[in-house]
Every structure is written in structure tokens, then in C-alpha cells.
Chains A and B, each alone.
Chain A
């Protein structure tokens, strides 16, 4: 079955870069997403990448995809205390009528001043 795995915790200093990693199981045609959840809040879509891409950059966010290893990473440059949150990696499927997301357990990012 499909599975998405992430490490549970990451702690960085303000101003450093954060790298959150994720591995997924499904193969060819997949969209992969990063969502952010702040305490007591809903899920905010940060960015997404299609599996025929290697990299996507959006301001401070860089997504890298290694299709061979089914490994996805989210890099946050110049991490700020406001970036402290739980980050979820999620995958879905291209081409089917079914579009539900499969989430990892989330990585809790703590940013120390």
C-alpha cells in the first residue's frame, strides 16, 4: 500500500536553513505536496511538485525530488521563528478519478532564536 514517511522532529537556529525530508512509496505519476500546520490551525498549502520535475523554487522554499529514491525534501532558507510549525508531506495520484491525499505523520520544526 501507499505510505509516506517523515522524521518527526527538527530543531534549527533562526537564520539557518531547514531541510525536512520525506519518502513516499508510489511510483510514476504522482503529485507531492507540502502543507504547514501551525498550532490550533488548519493545513496551509505551501507548495507542490509533479513527479516529472526535479526541483521547484518559490521564494524561501525549495523542493527537491529524487525519483529514483522516492525522496522529497523541503528546504526553508533563512528560517524564522514564524516558521515553527508541523510540516506534512503528502502524495496523491495522477490520472485517476480518486484524489485523496496520503499524509506523512508530520515533522515538527522548532526554530530557536
Chain B
């Protein structure tokens, strides 16, 4: 158990809908990262927050957004969902940023029908 929690574990929804994925980092960690794992693209970095502020952006679609709250938990919002958004979404956390080791949560499996 990495200490990073993600909810829900599974999510099934329809095209065009909006969902919110939640992540709680390990106690004491200030950085949260979101990654998407799909069969065709592999594991891709989406976005990083550090102590409430956006720190880095990767291959995140404009339909996706995220935020980190004062208690350091983070939410990833996915809207206007398409079939291709079906994937495993992982959250990771680290103490600070830069090269600190990232610990991953168990992931949320999103299925868009």
C-alpha cells in the first residue's frame, strides 16, 4: 500500500458526460501528479500540482482539468467524454517536486460507453 488513495475504483459512464476523479496524496506529500494509462498511448503524464498550484502540464486535453485543494487532495475533471477517454487514471504523490520519488495510487478505471 503506497498511502495514495483514489476514488472511485471503477467508473462507467456515457459519451458526452462529465466525471470527477479524486486523489488523496500520502501524508506530508505536497505534489500530486495525474497520469493516463491506455492501451495505445501507454502511460502519459497529464498534469502536476504542487501545494495547490499547477506546476507542470503534459498531454492533457482541454476537456480535462484538475485542481488541488487546501487539504492537498486533488480532483481530475473529465468532461464531454469520448470513447477514447476510456483508460486507467493514476494519481501519484511526492514530498516536493523535481526528482522526489513518486508513489502511485491504485488507479481509477474509466469506461466510456
> Taking CB as reference atom, which chain B residue is nearest A103?
B43
Contact A99 B98 (CB under 8 A): yes
Q: In the docked arrangement, what's the CA distance between A41 and B55, Å?
A: 27
* Contact pattern, B 25-40, Cβ under 8 Å of A = 1, otherwise 0: 0000001010100000
Q: In the docked arrangement, what's the CA distance between A99 and B106, Å?
A: 20
Q: Please pick, from A31, A44, A99, A103, the residue contacting B2 in the complex, using a CB distance under 8 A.
A: A44
Contact A105 B42 (CB under 8 A): yes
Contact B55 A45 (CB under 8 A): no
Contact B99 A94 (CB under 8 A): yes
Contact B90 A43 (CB under 8 A): yes
Q: Please pick, from A42, A100, A102, the residue contacting B107 in the complex, using a CB distance under 8 A.
A: A42
In the assembled complex, the CB of A5 is this many whole angstroms from the nearest CB of chain B, namely 11
Contact A97 B98 (CB under 8 A): yes
> Using a Cβ cutoff of 8 Å, how many contacts connect chains A and B?
70
Tell me, yes or no, whether B56 is within 8 Å of chain A by CB: yes
For chain A, give the interface size range. Answer: 20 to 34
Q: Please pick, from A41, A45, A96, the residue contacting B103 in the complex, using a CB distance under 8 A.
A: A45
Among A45, A93, A101, max chain B CB count under 10 A is at A101
Q: A42-B90, A97-B98 are in contact. List 16 more A-B contacts (CB 8 A).
A: A33-B101, A42-B104, A43-B104, A44-B2, A92-B99, A95-B98, A97-B50, A99-B55, A99-B56, A99-B98, A99-B99, A99-B100, A101-B102, A104-B42, A105-B42, A106-B42
Tell me the B residues contacting A by CB distance below 8 Å.
2, 31, 33, 35, 42-45, 48, 50, 55-56, 58, 90, 92, 94, 97-107
Q: Which 9 A-B residue pairings sit nearest by Cβ, starting from the closest?
A: A43-B104, A100-B45, A103-B43, A42-B106, A98-B56, A99-B98, A99-B97, A94-B99, A105-B42
